[in-house]
Amino acid sequence: MTSQELYNHWLVSYPEYRDELAALADNPAELEDRFYRSLEFGTGGMRGVMGAGENRVNAVIVRRVTRALAGMIRETDPTGKRHVVIAFDSRRKSDVFAREAAVTLASCGVPVWLFESLRPVPMLSFAIRFTGAIAGVEITASHNPPQYNGYKVYWSDGAQLPPDHADEIIRRLNDDPSFRPMTMDQGREKGLIRSMPYVVDDAYIDEIKGLAIQPELLRERGGELALAYSPVHGSGNVWVRRALREAGVANLLVVKEQEEPDGAFPTVKAPNPEERDTMAMVVELAAKNGADVAFATDPDSDRLGVAAREPDGGYRLITGNQIGCLLLYYILSQKRARGELPGNGTVITTIVSSSLFKSIADGFGVETRECLTGFKFIAEIIERLEVEGRRFLFGYEESYGYLSNPNVRDKDAVNASLLVAELALWLKVSGKTLLGLLDEVYGRFGYYGDYSVSVQMPGKDGLASMRGMMAGLRSDPPKGFGGKATIAVRDYLSGKRIALGMGEESELALPKSDVLYFELGDGDWICVRPSGTEPKIKLYSCAKAGSLGEAEAAAKARVEELKAIITGGAGGQ
C-alpha cells in the first residue's frame, strides 16, 4: 500500500490513534515519514520515535511484533510451559508497552514473568538465564532522545536474538486490526502473567558483588572512596547504589536533579553518558565535594560514562575506549598478582574499538577475539568459549559498554560501576589516580589515538543517502588517508578482504554486515558503517604514534577526511 493508503487504513482500523492521525491531514511530509515504511525489526529488535503510524513505536506495532514473537515461541516450545521475561526502563510509555507485550503474549498462550518496576537491560538478560525463560523483552530506546522508545528481544541464552530468529519474527509479522488482547487481570487470573520474584534481584546483585577482583579491599577500605553518580533519570539508580553499598562503598553522592525516573529527561539534551553535556551535572557535584570519580549510567543502565579527577581539582571525561582499556589492565594485572589469571582466559572486543586493548591483552599473554559492532556478537563468542572450555574474562565496545559477567549477555553498567569503583579505590590506597594509570598504560603498551563521529541521516532521504554513500565507497575506495596508503579493504557485506594494488582477495571470518574497514598499515585503520539502531552513519579511526596527542590528531584528521568524502567535500588521497 502507498503511504496515503496506509494512513487511511489506520484511520479506520485503529480508532485510538484517530485524533493524532487526523492532525496529519495537512502535513504531507509528516504523513509520508510515518507511513513510507514499517519500522524495521532486526536482531536488536526495533527502535524509533513514538507516535501513530507504521514507522513509529506505538501499541499497535508492539502488539504486532509480540504476536510474531509468540508464534515463533509456540512453534519452538509446543508445550507452552516456558515463559518470557519482560522488563522496561524509565522512558515515556515504557511501562504501558511492557504491559501491552505481556497481555499479547498471554493472549497467545505464552506465560509471562513481568518485572513490576524499572530494571536495567543487564538484569533482564540475567533473569532470562536464571529463571530458565525461553525469551525476554525489554522496552527501551537506550540512550536515544526522549521522543524515542524501542523493543529489544532476547533469546534463552540471555543474548539478543540470533539472525535466524529475527528473520522468523519478520516473516510472521502481519497486520490484524481485529486482534484485541486480554486484560492484565484476565492474564493473572489464568496464571499466564505473574510478577517476577524478588529473589532474582538478590541473585543478580550477589552475582555483581562476586565479580569483584579484590572484595576484601572493598569491604575494608571502601569508605575511603568518594564517588559522584547520576542515573540520568533512568533505571540504574536503585541497582547501582545497592551493588556499591553492599560491596562496601558507602560514600556515594547522587545528583538529586537526575535521581528520579523521568522519561522527558529534562536536564539533558539526550540521556547519553558519552556526551559531555550529559555528564555536566555529575561532574559539577563531584567538583563541589572533591569526589575521586564521577560516573553516570544511561536510561537502561547498559552504558557507563566516567570522569576522573585531575591534579588541579578539575575533571576529565574518559572515553569509552580508555575506560575499557583501564578495566582490562586492572582485571589482568590484579588477577596475575593474585595468581588467579587463567591460562585459558579470553577477552573480547569489536573491530571498531581501540587497538590498545589487544596490545594490553598480548602483554599479559591473554587471547583477544574480535567481532562486529554490537554486544550480541560478544555474547555469541562468550557462548562459544564455554563450549571450547575457555574462560571469558572481559569484553567491551567503544560505545561505553563493558562486561565481566558470563551470566549476563549484554553490556552491564551496574557490573562496570562496581569495577570502576574498585579500580579507583585500589589506585587511591596505592597513592595513584585513574589519569596517572592511563598515562602508565599508554607508556607501556603504546600511544593509540581513537576518534569517531556520527553523521545524521534522518528520514526516507537519509536512508537512501546512506546506501548511496556505502555503494560509492565500495566502488571507488579511497587510496589513503592523512598520507598513509590504504593497504587493504575489508568489506564485511561481501565477506571479502581485498589487498589493494595486488588485487588479492581472502575470506573474512566474521558474519556479513554493511561495514567497510580500511587498513592503513602499522595497525592504523579507519572504518565506516551505518548504525543499526539510529538514522546515522558512523565513522571510526585508530592511529598509533609517538605521543598521545599525535595519535589522537591523526585519528581525528582521518575521520574528518572520510566524512568530507562521503558528504561531498574534499576527496581522499
Q: What does the buried/exposed string (b/e) look like for 324-344 if buried means 16 or more CB atoms within 10 Å of the residue's CB? A: bbbbbbbbbbbbeeeeebeee
Say if CB 293 and CB 420 are below 8 A apart.
Answer: yes
142 catalytic, yes or no?
Answer: yes
d(CA 194, CA 449): 50
Find the catalytic residue in 107, 125, 142, 355: 142
DSSP 8-state class, residue 57: B
Residue type, 141: A
CA distances from 107 to 85, 102, 183 (A): 15, 9, 9
Looking at the DSSP bridge assignments, the partners of residue 2 are none
Place of cell 536503585: 238
DSSP track, 18-47: HHHHHTTTT-HHHHHHHHSSPPP-BTTBEE
Instruction: Pick the closest to residue 135 from 92, 96, 89, 102 (CA basis).
Output: 102
d(CA 147, CA 102): 23
Neighbours of 463 (CB within 10 A): 16
Report residue 498: phi and psi, to 5°. -115, 115
* Strand boundaries in 339-400, DSSP class E: 345-350, 367-371, 391-397
According to DSSP H, which parts of 375-458 are helical? 375-388, 413-429, 434-445
d(CA 211, CA 356): 24
The enclosing H or E element of 138 equals strand 135-139
**Direct distance between the N- and C-terminal alpha carbons of the chain, in angstroms, rounded to an integer:** 46
Instruction: Pick the closest to residue 186 from 83, 109, 94 (CA basis).
Output: 109
- 3-class DSSP state for residue 389? coil
d(CA 98, CA 88): 6
Place of cell 513505536: 57
Residue positions counted in the chain: 573
The enclosing H or E element of 483 equals none
Say if CB 551 and CB 447 are below 8 A apart.
Answer: yes
DSSP 8-state class, residue 197: P
Please give the radius of gyration of the chain, using alpha carbons only, rounded to the nearest integer.
24
d(CA 422, CA 181): 47
Catalytic residue positions? 142
